[in-house]
Amino acid sequence: MTSALTRRHFNLALAGALASAGTAHAADAWPSKPIRWVVAYPAGGGSDFLARQLAPQLGKQLGQTIIIDNRPGAAGMIGTDNAAKSPPDGYTIVTGDNGAMVFNTAMYKKVPYDPKDLAPVGFMARFPLILAVNPNAGFTSGQQLLDAIKKNPGKYSYASPGIGSPHHLAMELLKDRTGSFVVHVPYRGTALAVQDVISGQVPMMVLDTAAGLPQIKGGKVKALAVMSKKRIASLPDVPTLDELGIKGFEVTAWQGLFVPHGTPPEIVARLTQEMHKAISTPEVKARLEEFGLDVAPTDGPALASFVAQETKFWHALIKERKLSAD
């Protein structure tokens, strides 16, 4: 009996050692083929912009092509779910943002994935948000707009890239903090929303800097306030909402990098290291900062802690305001 148990323990130990060796070998050999970067939003938005700026440099460092796979729809749930259910082998990475990782589980009764199905690699960057209007909408300043929407509940409307987007929730927080009511007009992506603001169909929206700065500099929309703590370098004359009297107001559209849960820790650690290096490359960082991004790479644990804090704050607001996408 003792001999049989000894042989059994030996075989189990051997199997475990072989499995560990196999995992380590797989991690050492990674990557041996192209990597797919899932972006759960249409081309032309902030998430797509960041991925396409970062992918060539990251791929160069890893020695493999990184293919951007846009899978928009259902407030980012289609693409995020696809990534969450992909093999955890290091060949699928995905952008996770406020919407996909925080808002959706409070805004929708049924979400096809659990945010815990994705393992954090690290925080990448923040997109400052801008309160912008059609130049002919009649607003000359941020203060005038704030006064107008407060005095005329329901008279004005605002566009957003979609229900549950950071842009949508930023405006809802603004309405909450100012006691205002502005009608929400959701679109399928930033490009469609901003086009209707440019044409005058909708007077205002919240824009991220990646999508908004070209339109602002081209005179197609007008920036009245920024939603970050400080003024942004690309719009030095545009005040913060804090300066306009809404103290402590700050909302950004943040972006983190994630992989399917169960991806070998050696691969996650390598991705964290290479992402930091790529996003800090002078040419890449300069390009991102040109479009107003706050480049702030972290590791996985720091991103996980940040997501937990965001979830606590925003879920409370969504519940209090009885917001729902269903």
Concatenated DSSP letters for 206-231?
EEEHHHHHHHHHTTSSEEEEE-SSS-
- Return the C-alpha torsion angle 143, 149, 152, 156, nearest 10: 130
**What confidence category does residue 25 fall into, taking pLDDT thresholds of 50, 70 and 90?**
low
Q: Is the pLDDT of residue 131 over 80?
A: yes
Coil, strand, or helix at residue 114? coil
**pLDDT reported for residue 1:** 47
Q: What is the mean pLDDT of residues 223-241?
A: 94
d(CA 59, CA 68): 11
d(CA 239, CA 143): 10
Report yes or no: 281 and 297 within 8 Å, Cβ to Cβ.
no
Report yes or no: 115 and 306 within 8 Å, Cβ to Cβ.
no
d(CA 226, CA 208): 10
58-73 pLDDT tens trace: 999 999 999 999 999 8
pLDDT > 90 fraction of the chain, expressed in percent and rounded: 78
Give the strand pairing for 252-260 and 157-160: unpaired
Is the whole-model pTM more than 0.85? Answer: no
Which residue's entry shows tokens 């300043």?
A: 141
**pLDDT reported for residue 149:** 96
d(CA 103, CA 323): 10
**pLDDT reported for residue 2:** 45
**pLDDT reported for residue 96:** 97
Which residues face 69 on adjacent strands? 38
Report yes or no: 106 and 168 within 8 Å, Cβ to Cβ.
no
Report yes or no: 75 and 106 within 8 Å, Cβ to Cβ.
no
135-171 pLDDT tens trace: 999 999 999 999 999 999 999 999 998 888 889 999 9
CB within 8 A of 135, min separation 6: which ones?
Answer: 219, 220, 221, 222
Report yes or no: 200 and 84 within 8 Å, Cβ to Cβ.
no
Q: Look up residue 250 and give its amino acid.
A: E
Q: What is the mean pLDDT of residues 11-18?
A: 52
d(CA 257, CA 268): 10
Q: Which of 265, 225, 223 lies closest to 245 in space, CA to CA?
A: 225
Coil, strand, or helix at residue 131? strand
